[in-house]
Amino acid sequence: MPDVDFHLPDAAWSGGHLLLADENAVGKVRRRLMSASVASKTLQCPASMAASRLLPNIEDPFGAREIGTSAHAVLEDFYNLPPEKRTKDAIVRLVQEHATQTWSVEKLERPSKAALTANDQNRQVWIEKVTAYATGIFTVENPAEVNVHRTEWELIVDLAKGIGGSAEGVPSIVYIDRTDLGPNGEWLIRDYKFADNPKKLAKPDPRYGDDYGDQQRLYVLAVEEETGVRPAGAKLLYPVLGGERPIDISDDALRATATGYKAAWDLMNASADRQMFETRPSALCPWCPLANSCPVAMVGVSRARDPERRQASIDKQLTAAAMQPSAVQLGIPVLRPGAAPADARTGVAPGVQVPRQPIEPVGDDLFPVTVPIEPNMPAQEPIPAEVPGVGEFVAEHPEAAQTPPAPRMWETTEQTTGGTVSQNIQIRAEGPAYEETVEGNLNLNSFAAMAVSGLVAEAFEHLSEQGQQVSGTALAKFSDVLAGLALRAQYATTGQVSFQRGAQTRIRGLLRAILKRRPAPFGQPAAAWAEWLARTERFLIVAITESMNLYERRPVQNDSHLYFASDVAAN
């Protein structure tokens, strides 16, 4: 790593959280204006989001993030030209102009002959890369036929109003790469993405969310909030891949995105209020600046069955983690579970060895606290490379996308007379119930396994009782709904989000009770579902709180029955 001070003072790990004792540091993490990139980062891992705000950002002028940023700037100037002047030669000229600024000799500390030669060589390499990125737009569209309305449209608006019963929206800032005018004068949102993975052109798997699509939907909502007119369409343009992907901006899709966005805003503020930021391990851990310090980071872990693929995946992770600050550089100690943020005022000096202690990842580290209609926010999807936040860009790591997502691993199919049967064939080791995972996989003897199997069983039973067709998709979706309710109630009452915790058993029992009395509103509008989710979640929180209060009251003898007696006035 470069000679940079990465020490994070007054910070500590405790029970699956990053504690920040310095209120000034917390103030830097808390965003006054939310953005799509910050929302995505918050839901993926609040601790990583906090670190990205506090630690120095080391730029690589030839990195995918930086080259993509430069290509963005070139295309912005390019599409501000009159249509007849939008040629490849114009892009070459614009790249040269940007290179003159980026590689100005005035930026050299010592303009020696060797430094000038190296600067000129770097400039030429940079020009080749940016030119290749930018000219790829001609493989996607004919720039001369594009009717540009605005480029880099900056909007500061409140989004996600009315979500969760709140009259206030989320104060947000968005930067829209390009807004075009359609044949009938309608607005069309366009955004450049410079990923080189062809899978990006395909429709995302709904199980893992859609960061890029959510970004575009937020842009649509922002334009509508600002102008009162909803754009008619949105597309992602991939110059490197020579393709595009249309984005679903239906009412349901917009509502789901707004719900997740509001949840990210609430989670960010709740974490800042508590000065505690959850850790949520995922395949992206090796690319996090906290990778070498975080006690629960997934580094050097692969579920690939093939030994060569597994080793290749591990090697990529270790290489990525080696590029992050070391545990010694960060200087973040590990405290006992349940420590208060004030306990993080350790005064650990830079250079002090802080051992990485193995802590079982059973805290708030696996599941986002959201209230989504489409609850699966991305945990395995790579961080967008070009999502503009508040003056920042978040790097994409294509390597992470190659890590197989859990738990659907190594599927095989066989044809039967009844159709295609999918099997998840894997020899799984089992351990004691208190061990959530074994060899990186869910321990089917664990408390967490009991929890998730119980929720799936409850989902199946309720769907059947309510006369719903129990398809694989319906079962998965309603299992998500029930799990989200249980996890959010757990978070509200214990500050933790984990299927492994005992609180889950109690909450699931209460959930079963309310489902009998207040069934889910199948076949009703989204508004009815939002109301049902909110009422059910409130019931779970009140009920589990009352359970704890009942324990405290120890009512061996009481006169509470008089509350219900018709001839006695209740006090």
Report the distance separating Cα 244 and Cα 193, nearest Å.
Answer: 9
Report the distance separating Cα 173 and Cα 31, nearest Å.
Answer: 11
Per the structure block, which two tokens stand in for 531? Answer: 């109301």
Report the distance separating Cα 299 and Cα 314, nearest Å.
Answer: 8
Question: In whole angstroms, what separates CA 216 from the centre of its chain?
Answer: 15
Report the distance separating Cα 123 and Cα 70, nearest Å.
Answer: 13
Beta bridge partners of 153: 176
Closest by alpha carbon to 249, among 215, 290, 280?
A: 215
Residue 217 CB partners (closer than 8 Å, separation 6+): 234, 247, 248, 249, 253, 254, 257, 258
Residue 207 CB partners (closer than 8 Å, separation 6+): 376, 405, 476
Residue with tokens 């008619």: 232
Per the structure block, which two tokens stand in for 145? Answer: 């036929």
Residue 541 lies in a domain: yes
pLDDT value of position 96: 93
pLDDT value of position 448: 87
pLDDT value of position 288: 92
Phi-psi region of 185 (alpha: psi -120 to 50; beta: other; left: phi over 0): left
Residue 485 lies in a domain: yes
Residue 405 lies in a domain: no
- Helix, strand and coil percent figures for the chain, each rounded to 5: 45, 10, 40
pLDDT value of position 368: 35
Residue 545 lies in a domain: yes
Residue 456 lies in a domain: yes
Q: How many domains does the chain have?
A: 1
Per the structure block, which two tokens stand in for 101? Answer: 């600024």
The H or E element that residue 266 is part of is helix 251-274
Per the structure block, which two tokens stand in for 350? Answer: 């830079």
The range of the structural domain enclosing residue 538 comes to 427-553
Residue with tokens 């001070």: 5
Residue 63 CB partners (closer than 8 Å, separation 6+): 395
449 with 407: CB under 8 angstroms?
Answer: no
Amino acid identity, position 551 = Y
Residue 517 lies in a domain: yes
Amino acid identity, position 339 = A
Beta bridge partners of 175: 154
Residue 52 lies in a domain: no
Residue 232 lies in a domain: no
297 with 285: CB under 8 angstroms?
Answer: yes
Stretches where the chain sits below pLDDT 70 are 1-3, 164-167, 207-208, 346-429, 439-440, 568-571
Per the structure block, which two tokens stand in for 83? Answer: 């249509």
Alpha helix (H) residue ranges in 323-468 = 327-330, 398-401, 447-465
